[in-house]
Structure 1
Amino acid sequence: MESAKHAGDAAVAVSKAYGVETMFTLSGGHVFPLYDGAVHEGMRILDVRHEQSAVFAAEATARLTRSPGLAVLTAGPGITNGVSGVATAHFNGSPVVVMGGRAPQSRWGSGALQELDHPPLLKPITKLSFTATDAESVGQDVEVAFRTAVAPHRGPVFLDVAMDHLFSPSPAHEVRTQSPSPLEPDPDDLASIARLLAEAERPVLVFGSDVWMDRAEEAARDFAETWRLPVIPNGQGRGILPSGHELLVTRARGLAFGQADLVIVVGTPLDFRLGYGWFGGKEGAPLARVVHIADAPSQLATHMQPAASAAGDLSVVLWSLGAACGDAGVKPDAYSSWLSKLADAAAAATAKDAELLASESDPIHPMRVYGELGRVLADDAVVIGDGGDFVSYAGKYVEPKQPGNWLDPGPYGCLGTGLGYSIAARLARPSSQVVLLLGDGAAGFSLMDVDTLVRHRLPVVMVCGNNGMWGLEKHPMQLLYGYDVAAELQPQCRYDQVVTALGGGGELVTKPSEIGPALRRAFDSGIPYMVNIATDPQVAYPRNTTGV
């Protein structure tokens, strides 16, 4: 059998066979053969300033391209630094392979540099976490890692390789990648869902991130449009129905979820973002019946008993459910009055907010930022959210015109994703605008990776909502206790000067009239550029306590 130069060659060759184009990493001696393999195989190596950014970049690559991402981390602290990124990929169902270095097996137990048994640490937040058996097994082990990561339900896999094994000769591994047969839903489950829809008067359809990840956006849009169902997107479900679509009722979310009698949730968990699956019950309405549809049985809700559920490839599920609805006698015009009510509520909410989106208040109201941003975003812009209060407005006022163009940390809520996500977005969408929305708290986690953007010539526009505090904590603490602690940041901190010092551009904005021109300068600059906007610290994003 032909031998690779070393196990690093074998690992990278298998990665390329699974569509990996970029290795995200931070330099470490334990993994030099993987870098050498990337050089031999012509794979891009993109090095960052903190390992968490490498994993976040790999995860964003997976979410934007729907192909697996690869992060390579050196042993010990390199891997522990990446744990938050792996956990985020776990909660987002992102197919990421993290390859780690490992102290030499020949010295194991004698106190070698950064000797740590990593797989047990990663096991709870991965589909599979293991150590390569020896140099000869590396190619096969890497294939197992990728095959596991991309299988429904997708998720991260961790594999480490002992340093002495990684440097040793290893046989080339021939990969025979083949797409698994799509998981077929149970026809009886679909028939049950169709009957519920035929009986409903006030249905709502929720599209989550797995609709995008399962390449089911066409089937999802067709299902909504055929049966005239109001839609609320969640996560990367945004853009499946484009901004302005008549069935998109995001701005009437409270009314829709509060008075619905049937909520069909597709491709996202029934977690805190969706009130844990409890809908209806507002203004005299009974509790809604809930349908949960997932890409794999393991993702179906277990903390509550939905009225019906189904699992399978989401394209197959939605196309087949459409046929079942026809058999069940579902009538699209049956929901017209409900749809009109939601459309009127959405229009009223939009009209009500128009004044604040154009607010001349000083200090700047955060909504004015989004009013200005909406004027300069292109249809294919990739918008990334990394923050609390400030980014919450983005979830409400940024409605993508195309699917696959929205990234946020997801249900794990990990701050610091933004720079890694931005790196990946610029590589995945080289001709699109890439906009990173940062809270000033989130900026502190990863802003040093602007250096990565600069070194690799990756222009990104960063918009920082700078209110000088941890807004999600300060206001609630004051409400609860009458005081707050550990919630203050430096007012008008010059994060823009940090970006400038690292080789990018930036400016501080303190007046509403300055926002639009600053954004245009940022997009025209062709470099990493921060618009650092001092917003009113007294304004808190309005929240309820139910998650609905």
Structure 2
Amino acid sequence: MAETSDNVVAGHGGQLALAALRAAGVKEMFTLSGGHVFPLYDAAHQDGFPLYDVRHEQTAVFAAEAVAKLQRRPGVAVLTAGPGVTNGVSGLTSAFFNAAPVLVLGGRAPQFRWGAGSLQEIDHLPIVAPVTKHAATVGSTDDIAGAVTTALEHALTPHRGPSFLDLPLEVVFSTGESKAAAPQVPLLEPDPDEVARAVRLVAGAERPVIIAGSDVYGGDATAALRAAAEALTVPVFANGMGRGSLPPSHPLAFAKARRKALDAADVVVVIGTPLDFRLGFGDFGSAQVVHVVDAPSQRAAHVTVAASPAGDLRTILTAFADHTGERRDHSDWVATLRAAEQAQAAKHELEMQADSELIKPARVYGELRKVLAPDAVTIGDGGDFVSYAGRYLEPSVPGSWLDPGPYGCLGTGMGYAMGARVTYPDRQICVLMGDGAAGFSLMDVESLVRQNLPVVMIVGNNGIWGLEKHPMRAMYGYDVAADLQPGLRYDDVVKALGGGGETVTTATDLPAALTRAFSAGVPYLVNVITDPTDAYPRSANLA
């Protein structure tokens, strides 16, 4: 690749794409090998650009999503044409629901022979358009760098999300030249009157509550959130990547008294997360709702809100912190919630220490918290078992919790683990999986082993699809299609793929097994046989 003046680069299509990616701060590609995208590999190889390959395309997109979320910059997956792209659609959709700035570069059958039946000839755009912010086919080699920059601008502009480009065979293999420039992302300024209305409601409330979601982290607004909460003395709960925005020791950080808080609150401030099933669709009884979002498109249409500032979250929350008008004393309210928090924490403590003949998920997390470092990245990939993780584990730092989010797609675990390990070479990476979720992606342990990306996997193995079996029994008195083979040795699968692992059947063996896992230096799976009768006490209305 040759570079001339004014950032104009010359080379084949892969080199032009790579120059634009580098200009945007992208540092790696995730892929599964395919001939349609060989020029992208050639560019990476010739330039010493990191290239990580996987065993299923969805893992590549999930890895790119993890990088995008953890590092707040674009993550890139390169997928071959046809089934390569369609295999990645669940990953694209997850990134869409999770506001992750992912770019998928897809191969495409040649345009000059379109309609003649080339290998893997299909128009990807109608498939991916509903789950991307921007989807386009690049028509000429000279357009590649500019098209990549435009796609990244769409991905990075709030409300963030994935973009897709496909590169016809003759376009990406040909040579050309184009300008590689950094994407320009506009700052969306909120309406100051709407911000003022919102902060007056919060400051004047008797019992306000803040719920902070993933966009607080994605918008780099965690410090502004903390300043706003402290200035207004408002208790903070969190979901998604909002978890850890305030450390658990902070006097305004709460996790276990949410139901009491929402039942009694007179103003609920939801920041950077949708009013979806996780929050009872925004139905907080008689409380007024303030919905703070990073873009007008994220305002809830199904809820009547008292105020909804939209725009840069740091700007909005800084205005909250700088409020000089009247504000009520919330100390009694905070003390009431703290008492409820402590009571619930005591209950959880007993659950996490309880002995039983069959291991309960609570006990697994009681032992795990003792060996998790404060900055460990914890990844959830499952149903009931991972729901318990949300109940018992409290991240200590922002940006250390990854879960599938509101789309609820299983199979994210190995991709998220790869992206997390690439992001943090020296931190603990811990993947929590149900045995059902393990079936989606465990083969990609081989990708982790081969590329020296050690992670710890803990499987809660109850031999069932717990999220379906227990509700179906409650509804119909029976269940079907909800059983797995009990006692499967998922650790043996990992060992066969070059990693390590062991099965645990007794709770007292958990501490030593977890210690071995985190010191192994290879992908290591602790296969915990858990009680199949233990059902997570779910209260959320999913629809």
- Give the TM-score, by structure 2 length: 0.97
Partner of 1:244: 249
Paired with 1:482 and 1:178, the residues of 2 have a C-alpha distance of 57
Corresponding residue SS for 1:308: coil
Gaps of 5+ in 1: 281-286
The SS at the match of 2:324 is helix
2:436 counterpart of 1:438: no
Is 1:335 equivalent to 2:334 in the alignment? no
Matches within 5 A, 1:27-426: 27-180=33-186, 182-280=187-285, 287-323=286-322, 325-327=323-325, 329-331=326-328, 334-426=329-421
Looking at structure 2, the residues matched to 6 and 253 of structure 1 have their Cα atoms a distance apart, in angstroms, of 55
Could you give the per-residue CA deviations for residues 120-157 of structure 1, whole angstroms, max 9, x where no partner exists? 11000000111001112111111111111111111100
Instruction: Give me the whole-angstrom Cα distance separating, in 1, the residues matched to 2:541 and 2:64.
Output: 33
Partner of 2:490: 495
Q: How big is the shift at 1:192?
A: 0.9
Structure 1 residue 321: Cα displacement: 2.2
2:242 aligned partner, one-letter code? G
Report the counterpart of residue 30 of structure 2 in structure 1.
24
Deviation at 1:244, TM superposition (A): 2.6
Could you tell me which amino acid in structure 1 is paired with residue 298 of structure 2?
Q
- The aligned amino acid for 1:245 is H
- In 1: Cα distance, 2:97 partner to 2:203 partner: 33
Q: Distance between the aligned counterparts of 1:42 and 1:269, measured in 2?
A: 40
Q: Deviations over 1:367-386 (max 9, x none)?
A: 00000011001111000000
Change (3 A) 1:198 1:224: closer
Shift of 1:70: 0.3
Greater than 2 Å deviation, 4+ residue runs: 1-5, 176-180, 545-548
Residue type at the aligned position of 1:326:
T
| Secondary structure, counterpart of 1:59 in structure 2 | helix
* Shift of residue 338, structure 1, vs aligned partner: 1.3
Are the aligned partners of 1:194 and 1:330 in contact in 2 as well (CA < 8 Å)?
Answer: no
Is 1:455 aligned to residue 450 of structure 2?
yes
The alpha-carbon deviation at position 176 of structure 1 amounts to 4.3
Question: Partners in 1 of 2:148 and 2:349 — Cα distance?
Answer: 53
Look up the match of 2:466: 471
| Separation in structure 2 between the aligned mates of residue 429 and residue 484 of structure 1, nearest angstrom | 42
For residues 88-109 of structure 1, give each alpha carbon's deviation from its aligned partner in whole angstroms, at most 9, with x where no partner exists.
0000010000000000111111
Between stretches 350-359 and 404-413, larger displacement belongs to: 350-359
Cα separation, 2, equivalents of 1:352 and 1:137: 61
Q: What is the rounded CA distance, in whole Å, between the counterparts of 2:49 and 2:369 in structure 1?
A: 37
Could you list the runs of 5+ residues in structure 2 that have no partner in the other structure? none
C-alpha displacement at 1:243, in angstroms? 1.8
SS of equivalent residue, structure 2 residue 406: coil
Q: TM-score, normalised by structure 1?
A: 0.96
Shift of 1:40: 2.6
How many equivalent pairs are there?
537
Change (3 A) 1:403 1:3: closer
Taking the aligned partners of 1:463 and 1:391, their CA distance within structure 2 comes to 10
CA distance in 1, matches of 2:531, 2:207: 39
Of 185-194 and 419-428, more deviation after overlay is shown by 185-194
SS in 2 for 1:87: helix
For 2:327, the aligned partner's letter is V
- Offset at 1:228? 1.2
> How far apart, CA to CA, are the structure 2 residues paired with 1:117 and 1:544?
42
Cα distance in structure 1, aligned partners of 2:188 and 2:9: 37
**Cα deviation code 1:329-364 (max 9, x no counterpart):** 113xx2111111111111001111222201210100
Three-state SS of the structure 2 residue aligned to 1:309 is coil
Question: What's 1:511 paired with?
Answer: 506
Give 1:178 deviation, angstroms. 4.3
The residue that corresponds to 1:283 in the other structure is: none
1-side partners of 2:227 and 2:146: how far apart? 41
What SS does the corresponding residue of 2:447 show, helix, strand or coil?
helix
CA distance in 2, matches of 1:429, 1:279: 39
CA distance in 2, matches of 1:93, 1:521: 36
Q: Percent identity?
A: 56
**d(CA) in 2 for partners of 1:174 and 1:183?**
25
The answer for the alignment partner of 2:533 in structure 1 is 538
Task: Give the one of 515, 518, 522 matched to 1:520.
Answer: 515
Contact 1:26 1:50 in 2 (8 A): yes
2:31 corresponds to 1:10? no
C-alpha root-mean-square deviation of aligned residues, in Å?
1.3
Rounded to whole Å, the distance in 1 between the matches of 2:193 and 2:241 is: 29
Alignment counterpart, residue 476 of structure 2, candidates 477, 481, 491:
481
Instruction: Measure how far apart 1:5 and its partner are.
Output: 2.6
Letter in 2 for 1:427: V
Please say if residues 297 and 311 of structure 1, whose CA atoms lie closer than 8 Å, have aligned partners that are also in contact.
Answer: yes
